[in-house]
Homo-oligomer: A and B are copies of this chain.
Amino acid sequence: MQLNKLIAFHKTVGDATRIRILSLLAAGPKNGQALAGILSLSPPTISHHLAKLKEINLVTDRRNKNTIYFHLNESVLHQYSQSLPKLIIGKDNPMTMDNSLQLEHRKIVDNFFSDGMLKTIPAQRKKKMIVLYHMAAGLKMGRKYTEKEINDYITQFHPDYATIRREFIVSRIMHRENAIYELNPRELWDEIVES
């Protein structure tokens, strides 16, 4: 799947009329005039859109007597939909936080935690980051937390919630806005932990 076709796919599909056509075809093949009627558009306009959809093989046509029926090609839809993340970041599945825990990370976590409690805050930057990362894994991306909620959450790992809460901010794992706390996007974390 090369770049140009993938861009063409997204451009083609980034149009309300064409999305409506695809939705209609998903229910079964239809001919041009039927589509024109349902969508209140002229036959040439439908022809125009179908031509674009056919260009990328999202739609195929089959004639029966005088009428041409247009069919949705579902597998092309799936193929293209899955290709963009693959192209941009080299994979198609979001990895979960714990998937990124390599053996080394696991060791460090085992060393610094006992029965789930953080024994001491690591002095080494990298180890500290891994430990913070581990604790933050239980917070929900996109959720907003009050300061009290954060404090309560942190005390499940360590009594000194103030220090650790501060570390979450300075390490840029979280940010605070008007006393509301929230996780930063995942990709930012990676950059931090790798560094």
Binding site for B on A (CB under 8 A): 3, 5-16, 19, 22-23, 26, 28-29, 56-57, 60, 62, 69, 71-79, 81-82, 84-85, 87-90, 92-94, 98, 113, 115-117, 134, 137-138, 141, 152, 155-157, 185-188, 191
Q: Which residues of B contact A78 (CB under 8 A)?
A: 85, 92-94, 98
| A65 CA to B78 CA, complexed, in Å | 43
Q: List 8 A-B contacts (CB under 8 A).
A: A6-B19, A7-B15, A11-B15, A57-B115, A75-B185, A76-B116, A78-B94, A78-B98
State which of B10, B57, B188 has its C-beta within 8 Å of the C-beta of A10: B10
Please state the number of chain copies in the assembly. Answer: 2
Main secondary structure of the interface of A (DSSP, over half): helix
The answer to whether A152 touches B62 (Cβ under 8 A) is: yes
| A98 CA to B82 CA, complexed, in Å | 14
State which of B74, B81, B187 has its C-beta within 8 Å of the C-beta of A81: B81
